[in-house]
Structure 1
Amino acid sequence: MGMTMTQKILAAAAGLETVEAGQLIEAKLDLVLGNDITSPVAIHEMEKFQKDGVFDKDKIALVMDHFIPNKDIKSAEHCKCVREFACRHEITNYFDVGQMGIEHALLPEQGLTVAGDVIIGADSHTCTYGALGAFSTGVGSTDMAAGMATGKAWFKVPSAIRFRLTGRPSKWVSGKDVILHIIGMIGVDGALYKSMEFTGDGIRHLSMDDRFTIANMAIEAGGKNGIFPVDELAVAYMKEHSKRPFRVFEADEDAVYEEEYTIDLSTLRPTVAFPHLPENTKTTDEITEDIVIDQAVIGSCTNGRMDDLRTAAGILKGRKVKKGVRCIIIPATQAIYLQAMEEGLLRIFIEAGAVVSTPTCGPCLGGYMGILADKERCISTTNRNFVGRMGHVGSEVYLASPAVAAASAVTGKISSPEELQEVGE
């Protein structure tokens, strides 16, 4: 029986010839990730192990990104805990104010994630690195602690679903629309503890930023991980950003998939997830009523990369954010912030009436930099729209691409970019 791409990576990490779905294995880890919310819990758990030191100071990444710069005393204490731990154990990859970024954009940019890696992170969107052909998944803080101490983790080998992508997406359709379409199709538990494996000739029409977005939201369909084949674009990205060797794994021709879907990218339309689940999707063509918004957020580990900012700037250039709408734009890393500045994107955003924040997860989880009040509506490029996700339990979050979020900021209601062109705004 053949193995999927994910199963081959896990077999290699476990030192086994083959593995099969449902098998319990212990695998070696290439990277263990934590942030300013989850790392303090893991650090305190490590103290219970009474183990002196970490398994490899070069294979742990601690990224201060959720409440950075610190928004209050509690967040400051959390970061102090992690900062002292990083100093005590000489953690190589510790990222704080000035060097920080949103973790799932920062680590690939820093070359810390490459094809063939096995990565765990105490953050559910660790599945992002599957865009580069790595097995990466979110875990709890206790598993993070064990990973930091031993360099190993237990996994139940996941079964897989194959998504065969064909065709070329139209101008305003991005990776965000692809993954929202998929989640709307299979539901938030449609891939529960399964590997979401993306194949097909349509992948060549998806940028790396598109792929990062799609893999990032695999967890929103319940997936254990999302993973893409390693093509020339992925190899070029890794060679540009990393000096680490990588291993390319390919699924066997007779690999077993529990389900298979074929998606023609050319048929997709800009898609919006309505409250309060990512599966509540409608295309912009299917929205018949005016949904007036109070806020638009463009950023996060899902959509804060250069493609996203360029798309938003292309729509906002020469236009103004609708009076009464707050438009918040968050570059995902310092390097992205700098590049956006050099390309003149920040000027476009500010002249349009938006604000630009230092890199942070802040508003995505209702932390800061964009909290919603009762009955307020936000269109956001983030990844979750649960009840109270961005503030008051009476608020509403609509998930969309940067193109739709920027267009909506201009019109003051959920809109597709085509609508701006039609009315000549």
Structure 2
Amino acid sequence: MAMTLTQKILAAHAGLPEVSAGQLIQARLNIVLGNDITTPVAVNEFKKAGFDGIYDKDKVVIVLDHFVPNKDIKAAEQSKTCREFACEHCVSHFYDVGKMGIEHALLPEQGIVTAGDCIIGADSHTCTYGALGAFSTGVGSTDMAAGMATGKAWFKVPSAICFHLTGSLKPNVSGKDVILTIIGMIGVDGALYKSMEFTGPGVAALSMDDRLCICNMAIEAGAKNGIFPVDERTLDYLKGRAEREPVIYAADENAPYEKTIEIDLSSIEPTVACPHLPENTRPTRELGNIRIDQVVIGSCTNGRMEDMETAYRILKGKQVAKGVRCIIIPATMAIYRECIVRGYTTAFVDAGAVVSTPTCGPCLGGYMGILAEGERCVATTNRNFVGRMGHVKSEVYLASPATAAASALTGCITCPKEEN
């Protein structure tokens, strides 16, 4: 029986010769992930269930990233719970202040996830790792608790939509513009509990950072996961980085996709998701003179090195517009350090921006950039729901790093120039 790429991985991890959409399976897990918000809940469930040990100290990963460095007493208590659990169970991959990063940028960077893996994480954007040719999906804290104890999880095998990519992106157009365009086409429930599988010659034109960004936002279309095939670019990224040998799977030629959507990458233009849903997209050039109060460049979606490079290229030697707060957050300590070494941090500060230690902070309205009533923010984050970044009467516009940086300079939503 023909299978999609996701189905191939799930079948292998379930120990079955084949699986089909809708089938219930139990699969072996390579990685179980939690953060400082979700892990304490999982720890409580772990204890309530009577578990006395984790299945593999090298396959449970705990990253403190949402409210770290701790913003208040509650955040401190949550982190303390994580630290004590990690210490008690000798968790190898525990990332705290000074070593942490935003989890979905950190795990690929550190080689903790690799091609062919089956991964669950108690965070909805765990689907990021599909960029490496892995099956990865977000789960609740109860599932995380069971996964930590048993190394297994139950899944309903998803059906799939094929996104056939051709062409290549124009200057100052990135993976963020691609995924915003797709969500605008199909809607926030357009891939509900389906696998979004990206194929075609256009895949080769996308960088790994583009692919990680695209898979990161698959959940914003309701998808169970997003996934790219493994190619030379993937293997180059994994070489010397991955802790385990990658296992390469490929979809069958006659894989049972529900439908195929053609995407010409050369036709994609800078795109913004207007309040209050990621599907509310429009070309940036059509938005006119919408004044803004804040810009955030960072998050698990767009805090990687290429994103920092884009921000630097546009901001260097210029000044952030008066009245605009520009917050730049490298996604990991390695990226933070590289920004310092390359002189990006100095350029950002000289431009009038503030540079933060890695944190999810403002993305979820946690800290480091809360919006007041009536304020507008252009953010490279992944959600713009009502009250997502602060006051329920504030507004968040989702955009690429290029659009965000260009907007910071003008004080209104601005389409980046191709020559920037």
**TM-score normalized by the length of structure 1:** 0.98
Alignment of 1:248-259 (within 5 A): 248-259=248-259
Partner of 2:400: 401
Superimposed CA distance per residue, residues 56-79 of structure 1 (whole angstroms, 9 cap, x where no aligned partner)? 110000000000000000000000
1: distance between equivalents of 2:378 and 2:43? 36
Equivalent position of 2:345 in the other structure: 346
CA RMSD of aligned residues (A): 0.9
Q: Does 1:319 align with 2:315?
A: no
SS of aligned partner of 2:239: helix
Question: 8 Å contact 1:181–1:281 — kept in the other structure?
Answer: yes
- Shift of the alpha carbon at 1:285? 2.3
Q: What is the match of residue 71 of structure 1?
A: 71
Q: 2: distance between equivalents of 1:285 and 1:412? A: 15
Q: Is the 8 A contact 1:302 1:382 kept in 2?
A: yes
Q: What is the rounded CA distance, in whole Å, between the counterparts of 1:103 and 1:162 in structure 2?
A: 27
> Structure 2 counterpart of 1:251, which letter?
A
Structure-1 separation of matches of 2:43 and 2:108: 24
Residue 149 (structure 1) aligned with residue 121 (structure 2): no
Give the SS at the match of 1:408.
helix
Q: Is the 8 A contact 1:42 1:141 kept in 2?
A: yes
Q: Provide the residue aligned with 1:214 in structure 2.
A: 214
Residues in 2 aligned to 1:330 and 1:95: alpha-carbon distance in whole angstroms: 17
Using the TM superposition, give the Cα deviation of residue 242 of structure 1 relative to its aligned residue in structure 2, in angstroms.
1.6
Q: Which runs of 5+ in 1 are unaligned?
A: none
Deviations 1:113-155 (A, max 9, x none): 0000000000000000000000000000000000001000000
Distance (whole Å) between structure 2 residues aligned to residue 218 and residue 391 of structure 1: 24
Q: 1:380·1:397 contact (CA, 8 Å) conserved in 2?
A: yes
**Cα deviation 1:291-338 (Å, max 9, x = unaligned):** 100000000000000000000110001110001000000000000001
Give, in angstroms, the shift of residue 254 of structure 1: 1.2
Contact 2:299 2:360 in 1 (8 A): yes
Q: 1:165 — aligned with what? A: 165
Counterpart AA for 2:313? G
Superposed, which structure 2 residues align to 1:179-194 within 5 Å? 179-194=179-194
**Matches of 2:37 and 2:364, distance apart in 1:** 11
Query: What is the DSSP-based 3-state SS (H/G/I as helix, E as strand, rest coil) of the residue aligned with 1:258?
Result: strand
Distance 1:231 1:359 in 2: 30
Structure 2 counterpart of 1:3: 3
Asked if structure 1 preserves the Cα contact closer than 8 Å seen for 2:171 and 2:418, the reply is no
User: Residue type of the partner of 2:388?
Assistant: R
2:23 paired residue number: 23
Q: What does residue 306 of structure 2 align with?
A: 307
Partner of 2:176: 176
Please tell me whether the aligned partners of residues 105 and 305 of structure 1 are also in contact (alpha carbons under 8 angstroms). Answer: yes
SS in 1 for 2:22: coil
Q: Which amino acid aligns with 1:303?
A: N
SS at match of 1:27: strand
Q: Distance in 2 between matches of 1:282 and 1:399?
A: 11
How far apart, CA to CA, are the structure 1 residues paired with 2:141 and 2:340?
A: 36
Q: Which runs of 5+ in 2 are unaligned?
A: none
Residue 236 of structure 1, CA deviation: 0.8
Structure 1 segment 50-65 matched on structure 2, within 5 A: 50-65=50-65
Asked if the contact 2:165–2:200 (Cα under 8 Å) also holds between the matched residues in 1, the reply is yes
Q: Distance in 2 between matches of 1:13 and 1:146?
A: 17
Q: Contact 2:371/2:390 (CA < 8 Å) preserved in 1? A: yes
Q: Is the 8 A contact 1:407 1:420 kept in 2?
A: no
Q: CA deviation at 1:240?
A: 3.2
Alpha-carbon contact 1:127-1:216 (below 8 Å) kept? yes
Q: What code does the residue aligned with 2:404 have?
A: A
8 Å CA contact retained: 1:301, 1:332 = yes
2:330 aligned partner: 331
Q: How far apart in 2 are the matches of 1:195 and 1:60?
A: 24
| 1:27-176 superposed matches below 5 A | 27-176=27-176
Worse overlay, 278-287 or 121-130: 278-287
- Is the 8 Å Cα contact of residues 28 and 152 (structure 1) preserved in structure 2? yes
Contact 1:188-1:221 at 8 Å conserved across structures: yes
Instruction: Encode CA deviations 1:232-285: one digit per residue, 9 max, x unaligned.
Output: 010011113223111000000111001110010101110000000000000012
> Any idea what SS the aligned residue of 1:26 has?
strand
Separation in structure 2 between the aligned mates of residue 74 and residue 5 of structure 1, nearest angstrom:
42
Q: Which residue pairs with 1:224 in the alignment? A: 224
The aligned counterpart of 1:274 is 274
1:375 partner amino acid: G
SS at match of 1:417: coil
Q: Which position in structure 1 is the counterpart of 2:283?
A: 283
Give me the whole-angstrom Cα distance separating, in 1, the residues matched to 2:210 and 2:255. 26
Instruction: Supply the distance in 2 between the matched residues of 1:235 and 1:68 (Cα, whole angstroms).
Output: 32
Aligned residues: 420
Query: Is residue 61–residue 94 contact of structure 1 (8 Å, CA) maintained in 2?
Result: yes
Query: Could you tell me which residue of structure 1 aligns to residue 364 of structure 2?
Result: 365
SS at match of 1:261: strand
Point out 4+ residue stretches in structure 1 off by more than 6 angstroms: none
Q: Measure how far apart 1:420 and its partner are.
A: 9.2
**Equivalents in 2 of 1:78, 1:146: separation in Å?**
20
Q: Quote the sequence identity (%).
A: 70
